Structure 1
Amino acid sequence: MDAEERIAYLERLGELRGSKVLVYFSYRPLDDTILVPLYKQLKEIGHTKRIDLLLHSYGGAVDTPFKIVMLIREFCDEFSVIVPFVAKSAASMVVLGADEVVMGPVSELGPIDPLVKHPVYKDLWVPVQAVQHCLDYLQRSIVDSPDQDVAISILSPVLNKLDPWLIGDYEKALKASRQYAEALLSRYMLRDNPELVQVVTKVLTEGYFSHGYPIGRQEAKQLGLKVFEADGELWDVIWELYLGYEELFLVGEEE
């Protein structure tokens, strides 16, 4: 799919949705580098009634989603997120700040489990819950051992590598993700159902053990999220755009 075809599909999507459509499609962790180009695009559009964000991301930094939502909402009255395939972790947090999420049969959200950079391997991003699960595992291993002194001696090399300052930062990131999720849900996605805010927050931040757990549109609806199920021409256009952007990324990698 060339650029003209993508533009034509985007224009048709905007017609079908009655919106201005923005696209964020990336395989890199979502972080604050998105904010300046996003602001430039929003300034070009100006204030409009509805903005749709076509979002494909596996997640990223804990603070960025809240900034994205607040920025987009400066320029529109209604904000929706369109998920053609994957919007996980921090990208799912963006969804919580929308008025609705548009999903098809293969669309996936995920648990809210922010990523942090590994303190040694700078190109490696680690789900913060992985650190918590590591600590839980070490504690259980010691408590459940028939000889705790032996268990401690075996696990001591691992324990000695755990920097308390880093653990504190990871714990703050977990608490921040819960705070952001609750704030976004109460202000936007679940503002009409405040009794669900804490329940949904707890499920999304603590209820899944796999970082990659797929929350499809039916499960998202069961959780209480406002899901618009895309079908017919609308879904066909969304899916063709996904394939077009995926092809663009594959070509870029080959080059």
Structure 2
Amino acid sequence: MNEKQKKILLESIETIRDSKLLVYFSYTPLDDSILVPLYQELNKVGKTQKIDLFLHSYGGAVDTPYKVVMLIREFCEKFSVIVPFSAKSAASMIVLGADEVVMGPISELGPIDPLVKHPSYKDFWIPVQALRCCFEYIEEIIDNTVNPEVSEIIVTSMLNKLDPWLIGDYEKALKASRQYAESLLSKYMLKNDPEKVKTVTKNLTNGYFSHGYPIGRAEAREMGINVTYAQGELWDLIWELYLHYQSIFSHDSASNFSFYSAGEF
């Protein structure tokens, strides 16, 4: 696909959606490095009635999604997220700050389980819930042991590897994710349905054991999230655009992330 064809795709989605379309596509963890490029792209678009964010991301830092939502909303009255395939963890947090999420048959959200950098291994990110699961596992060993001496050796060895400062930091990240989720839902996604805010927050931050659990559009809608089903021509265009960016990133290992809009051409 050449640049002209990509522009036609972007503009076709904008026409159907009556919006300005931004694309964020990344296979690397979401963090604050995206904020300046996002601001520059929003300046190109300018103040407008409605912005759609075409979002593909597997998550990242706990604070970044809130900043992304607040920044985009400086430039529009209505904000929607289009999920062609995956918007997981911290990316799902961005969805909670939208007025609606547009999803197709293969689209997935995920539990809000922020990622943190491992203190010892460079460029290795882990979900903070993994630490909570570690403590639950230790408790299980203690409760079910038949040999207290052996269990004491195992537990002591595990605890000696845990830095209390890191434990505190990870626990703060979990609490922050709940706080952000509740705030975004209250202000935006569920502002007209406040009784659902705490339930949806609890489900997304503490309702799933797997970091990668796929929350499809039917489950998301049943949970209380404002889901619009993409179908027909709109879905065909969304999926074609997704396949285009997937092809770009699969052939360019140096790419980390990119923002695009029809206005850049």
Q: TM-score, normalised by structure 1?
A: 0.98
Give the structure 2 partner of residue 193 of structure 1. Answer: 193
Q: Which moved more, 1:39-48 or 1:56-65?
A: 39-48
Aligned length in residues: 255
Q: Higher relative contact order by CA 8 Å / sep ≥ 6: 1 or 2?
A: 2
Where does the alignment leave 5 or more consecutive residues of structure 1 unmatched? none
Give the structure 2 partner of residue 162 of structure 1. Answer: 162
Report percent identity of matched pairs. 65
One-letter code aligned to 2:80: S
Q: Does 1:94 align with 2:94?
A: yes
- The two structures, once aligned, show a CA RMSD in angstroms of 1.1
Q: Does 1:241 align with 2:248?
A: no
Instruction: State how far apart, in whole Å, the 2-side matches of 1:67 and 1:207 are.
Output: 25
Q: Please give the per-residue CA displacement for 1:174-216, whole angstroms capped at 9, x wherever unaligned.
A: 0000000000000000001100000000000000000000000
Q: TM-score, normalised by structure 2?
A: 0.94
Matches within 5 A, 1:206-245: 206-245=206-245
How many angstroms does 1:17 deviate by? 0.4
One-letter code aligned to 2:225: L
Give the structure 1 partner of residue 112 of structure 2. Answer: 112
One-letter code aligned to 1:133: C
Give the structure 2 partner of residue 36 of structure 1. Answer: 36
Q: Does 1:48 align with 2:48?
A: yes
Matches within 5 A, 1:132-147: 132-147=132-147
Which segments of structure 1 move beyond 4 Å, counting only runs of 4 or more? none
Q: Please give the per-residue CA displacement for 1:70-106, whole angstroms capped at 9, x wherever unaligned.
A: 0000000000000000000000000000000000000
Q: Does 1:27 align with 2:27?
A: yes
Residues 25 and 154 (structure 1 numbering): CA distance in 2 closer, same or farther, change over 3 Å? Answer: same
How many angstroms does 1:156 deviate by? 1.5
One-letter code aligned to 2:152: I
How many angstroms does 1:223 deviate by? 0.3
Instruction: State how far apart, in whole Å, the 2-side matches of 1:193 and 1:5 are.
Output: 41
Q: Does 1:69 align with 2:80?
A: no
Instruction: State how far apart, in whole Å, the 1-side matches of 2:112 and 2:70 are.
Output: 18
Instruction: State how far apart, in whole Å, the 2-side matches of 1:161 and 1:251 are.
Output: 39
How many angstroms does 1:166 deviate by? 0.3
Q: Secondary structure at the match of 2:137?
A: helix
